[in-house]
């Protein structure tokens, strides 16, 4: 489906980095372009290598995964960040998604789950590990729905269109082409609807859209 998805692995444990690298080296269409042991090194490699997917450990010295996510995503490149952690509590899940992670993968996941997670985020979707408590995942979506669902009526018709397209994984350029408007106009509508709904990332947009249409 994708030609050589470039992956950057970030984890403070060398054995974990090497293990993940070995697993992914045997997967067709995936290329590990680098590994980093902390957040600062990750940002440096990210700028140089421009990976498609970053597997980001959350608990690291020097600079943790959440802080590193926020900084590297501010650089504006089209990269998906997949949180990689052993933590299953709501605080870590919410923090990672709020920082802009497109997915949340547990370290006890299988090889197939790892590959599936990478494929899922490359398709513009949000990946939540099956190992996360169903109630935790639902809790995130429920909070988003309860705090923002009532505000949907404040969106203009055009903002609702942009909301739907962002939730479906379309990029600003694609939305502009579909709606026959400029990218600047798309960016303005996107910014306005995010503010009105109190959302901070595309992942939250997708989660809210999913919950509203499956509740």
Q: What percent of the chain has pLDDT over 90?
A: 44
- 136 has pLDDT over 80: no
Question: Are 106 and 165 in a shared domain?
Answer: no
List the domain range (segments joined by +) for residue 59: 5-132
Residues 38 and 116 in one domain: yes
For the chain, percent of residues with pLDDT exceeding 70: 86
pLDDT of res. 209: 75
User: What does the pLDDT look like over 158-189, one tens digit per residue?
Assistant: 898 898 899 888 899 999 999 999 999 999 99
Task: Pick the closest to residue 83 from 73, 74, 75 (CA basis).
Answer: 73
Between helices 157-167 and 202-212, what is the axis angle to 10°? 100
Instruction: Tell whether 105 and 21 lie within a shared domain.
Output: yes
Task: Let me know whether 29 and 118 are in one domain.
Answer: yes
Residue with tokens 């197939």: 112
Kindly state whether residues 73 and 152 are assigned to the same domain.
no
Q: At what angle do helices 134-148 and 202-212 cross, to 10 degrees?
A: 90
Q: Which of 87, 110, 132 represents a domain boundary (last residue)?
A: 132
Are the CB atoms for 130 and 158 separated by under 8 Å?
no
Taking 70 as the threshold, does the pLDDT of residue 2 lie above it? no
For residue 56, what are the β-bridge partners?
Answer: 10, 83
- Do 128 and 182 reside in the same domain of the chain? no
pTM for the full model?
0.65
- Count how many domains the chain has: 2
pLDDT at 143: 56
CB 207 within 8 A of CB 137: no
CATH number at residue 24: 3.40.50.2300
pLDDT at 147: 53
Statement to judge: residues 35 and 113 lie in one domain: yes
Report how far residue 213's alpha carbon sits from residue 160's, in angstroms, rounded to the nearest whole number.
14
Q: What is the pLDDT of residue 1?
A: 43
pLDDT digits (tens, 9 = 90+) for 14-62: 999 999 999 999 898 999 999 999 999 999 999 899 999 999 999 898 8
Q: Are residues 128 and 25 in the same domain?
A: yes
For residue 155, what is the domain's CATH number? 1.10.10.10
Tell me the DSSP string of 7-52.
EEEE-S-HHHHHHHHHHHHTSTTEEEEEEESSHHHHHHHHHHH--S
Based on the domain organization, do 54 and 122 belong to the same domain? Answer: yes
Overall average pLDDT of the 86-90 stretch: 83
Cβ atoms of 103 and 121 closer than 8 Å: yes
């Amino acid at each position: 489906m994708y030609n050589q998805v470039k992956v950057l692995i970030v984890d403070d444990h060398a054995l974990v980095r090497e293990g993940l690298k070995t697993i992914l080296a045997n997967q067709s269409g995936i290329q590990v372009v680098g590994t980093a042991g902390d957040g600062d090194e990750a940002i440096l490699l990210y700028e140089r290598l421009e990976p498609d997917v970053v597997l980001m450990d959350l608990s690291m010295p020097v600079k943790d995964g959440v802080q590193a996510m926020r900084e590297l995503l501010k650089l504006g490149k089209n990269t998906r960040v997949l949180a990689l952690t052993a933590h299953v509590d709501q605080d870590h899940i919410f923090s990672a998604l709020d920082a802009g992670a497109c997915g949340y993968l547990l370290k006890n996941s299988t090889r197939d789950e790892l590959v599936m997670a990478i494929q899922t985020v490359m398709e513009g979707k949000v990946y939540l590990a099956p190992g996360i408590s169903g109630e935790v995942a639902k809790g995130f979506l429920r909070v988003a729905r309860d705090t923002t669902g009532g505000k949907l009526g404040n969106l203009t018709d055009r903002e609702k269109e942009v909301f739907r397209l962002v939730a479906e994984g379309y990029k600003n350029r694609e939305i502009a082409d579909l709606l026959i408007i400029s990218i600047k106009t798309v960016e303005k509508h996107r910014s306005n609807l995010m503010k009105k709904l109190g959302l901070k990332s595309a992942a939250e947009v997708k989660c809210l859209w999913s919950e509203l249409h499956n509740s």
